[in-house]
Homo-oligomer: A and B are copies of this chain.
């Protein structure tokens, strides 16, 4: 049975947005598992709201691909096969490459400084063995590059893909050792960006994602999914 927390209605935001975020987090974090049904009435009751905003939130989850709707039957959390995640990573690889290449051409000095700061914090997390923090800093690092690309459409598509990657990690690979090579690769990308060398930056980021994909595929094979 799906369980979600009661809502906190602090700052004013439409209920649909609050509910959307709540459900989204619950799905990404694995609290609601693939295949589980989302029933409007029960969700609405648990959250203490009516069905209307719940429906709207579910529509948005569907648009993100996190849930699947069948008309007149209902909604369930989308399954996430290894084929799915490979598909996502293929797309993400191409877009990450584009983002890094654009960023090399357009990045502002202040954005470089922000990247350096994030990278330092990443290293510090790794040294302390704080994996959760390292993952967060890894995400931040890439987000900062996306932002520096100056292409808002690209940022939007990538942020939607990111959710799926993260969801996959949570479901299958809680213990994935992310720090391997990553620190060094980030360092190199950072240098290429600093030099404004778009070609090299693109190449490095392509490799970076490919390595991640390989690590995931290998981890999957070990678990023989």
State the CA gap A2–B31 with chains docked (Å): 43
A side interface size, CB within 8 A: 32
A157 contacts which chain B residues (CB < 8 A)? Answer: 91, 157
State the CA gap A156–B161 with chains docked (Å): 12
Contact with B along A167-183 (1 / 0, CB 8 A): 00000000000000000
Closest CB-CB distance, A205 to chain B, in whole Å?
12
* A71/B154 contact (C-beta < 8 A), A59-B60, A63-B63 known: no
**Any chain B CB within 8 A of the CB of A102?**
yes
A152 contacts which chain B residues (CB < 8 A)? Answer: 87
A65 contacts which chain B residues (CB < 8 A)? Answer: 153, 156
A97 contacts which chain B residues (CB < 8 A)? Answer: 94
**Any chain B CB within 8 A of the CB of A45?**
no
